[in-house]
Amino acid sequence: MAIKNGILNDVTFREARHIGERIVPELVVVHDTASRIENGKAADYLRDNAAKVSVHFVIEMDGTIEQQVPVDRRANHAGKSHYHGRSGCNHFSIGIELVNPGKLQAYGNSDQGVAWWGERFPAASGLIDAETQEHGAGRWMQYPSAQIAALIELLQTLFAQVPSLKDIRTHWYISPGRKIDTNPLFPLSHIRSLILGRDDPDDMADALSDEVSPGETVVINTHGDTLNMRRWPSFNPNVVGKIPDETILPVLRRGRFGHRDWLLVVYGGQEGWIVAAYADPVEENAAGFAMGVPEVQL
């Protein structure tokens, strides 16, 4: 596939009604349509609607791709959103909608799923129950392999020919608490490592940090507040636990990310990252008990 004047040469282009100003895209945002799944239904709506929404690409469940906005023009796909401290992701992102019914409810005690508009889907359409912190509990439809293959081919084309692109995220990541697309079955880490050539940020953090000496512990020092423990060392929506003040924790790794020192610690049976400034070293006292020394920097 080649891109000329922001338009891919070998997919259908039907111009959206709502096309904004010129942009330099740095991010790809992947969405679900949360809509009926027949070919063309979601694409027709996205192309022309009174709600002023639009998107660059729609990928049907059979892998058919339609482009509706040139990649260097703004589409209205993300709404209120932020990415690494910047708000309004429409101004620097390309949106891709995957046709998918979104969150389904269980139909009674059956293995069928009911969509928000009342349509019922059989288990054979690829339904799986899953729950995550970002999505809550639900019944979800798997993305067909043809649809994922089309997405990967499109991403490879975009990242090869749009040099300003740097990252791939989902709508729930840039609009946490407000949006849950893509669904929990979306193979995000696989696609990120395939296209970006690196793994999930938590794996990356491991690779970029250093092991500490065995037995190193710290005591949380937050003057009474709890401290967020995070899946990887950044302030993105990735909190996996809240650690009470004065808790003593084993430290596994130490690294510097985003101009801050971070520690990988173990709390509540899981590993997570905390900002090192809120943890003080612990030294063993004469009796051999670990003692917090929050007022003294060793």
Contact in structure between 86 and 39 (CB atoms under 8 Å): no
Site for Zn ion in 26-65 (CB under 5 A): 31
Q: How far is the CB of 134 from Zn ion (least distance, A)?
A: 13
Shortest distance, position 17 Cβ to Zn ion, whole Å: 18
Choose among 290, 155, 274: nearest CA to 205: 274
Q: Do residues 219 and 247 make contact, with C-beta atoms less than 8 angstroms apart?
A: yes
What are the tokens at 264?
């990988």
147 or 247, CB closer to Zn ion? 147
Strand order across the 120-121 sheet: 105-106, 113-114, 120-121
139 CB-side CA count, 13 A: 21
Considering the complex, state which of residue 141 and residue 264 has its C-beta at the smaller distance from Zn ion: 141
Q: Which stretch binds Zn ion (CB under 5 A): 48-56, 123-131, 174-182, 279-287?
A: 174-182
Q: Which residue number, 30 or 127, has a Cβ lying nearer to Zn ion?
A: 30
Q: Which is nearer to Zn ion, 30 or 150 (CB)?
A: 30
- Segment 232-291, which members bind Zn ion (CB under 5 A)? none
Which of the ranges 114-122, 169-177, 260-268, 273-281 carries the binding residues for Zn ion, by CB under 5 A?
A: 169-177
CB of 298 to Zn ion, least distance (A): 48
Residue 171 sits in the site that holds Zn ion (CB under 5 A): yes
Q: How far is the CB of 179 from Zn ion (least distance, A)?
A: 5
182 with 170: CB under 8 angstroms? yes
Which residues, listed in sequence order, are joined to residue 267 by a DSSP beta bridge? 270
H or E, element range at 129? strand 127-132
Per CB under 5 A, does 93 bind Zn ion?
no
CB of 246 to Zn ion, least distance (A): 41
The minimum distance between CB 171 and Zn ion, in angstroms, equals 3
Closest CB to Zn ion among residues 173, 267: 173
212: three-class secondary structure by DSSP: coil
Report, in Å, the least distance between residue 289 CB and Zn ion: 52
| 30 versus 71: smaller Cβ distance to Zn ion | 30
Contact 146, 62 (CB under 8 A): yes
Choices 24-32, 156-164, 186-194, 241-249; region in contact with Zn ion by CB under 5 A: 24-32
Name which of 31 and 169 has its Cβ closer to Zn ion: 31
Q: Give the binding range for Zn ion (CB under 5 A) out of 101-109, 124-132, 176-184, 272-280.
A: 176-184
Scanning 120-128, 133-141, 145-153, 163-171 for contacts with Zn ion by CB under 5 A, the matching segment is 163-171
DSSP string, 19-48: --SB----EEEEEE--S--STTHHHHHHHS
The tokens describing 247, both together, are 């808790």
User: DSSP letters of 277-293?
Assistant: GGEEEEEE-TTS-EEE-
Taking the C-alpha atoms of residue 298 and residue 283, their distance in angstroms, rounded to an integer, is 9
**Helices 188-196 and 145-161, axial angle in degrees (round to 10):** 30
Phi, psi for 267 (deg, rounded to 5): -145, 135
List the one residue from 26, 60, 66, 181 that touches Zn ion (CB under 5 A): 181
Which of these ranges, 99-107, 108-116, 136-144, 173-181, lies near Zn ion under the rule CB under 5 A? 173-181
Residue ranges binding Zn ion (CB under 5 A): 31, 171, 181
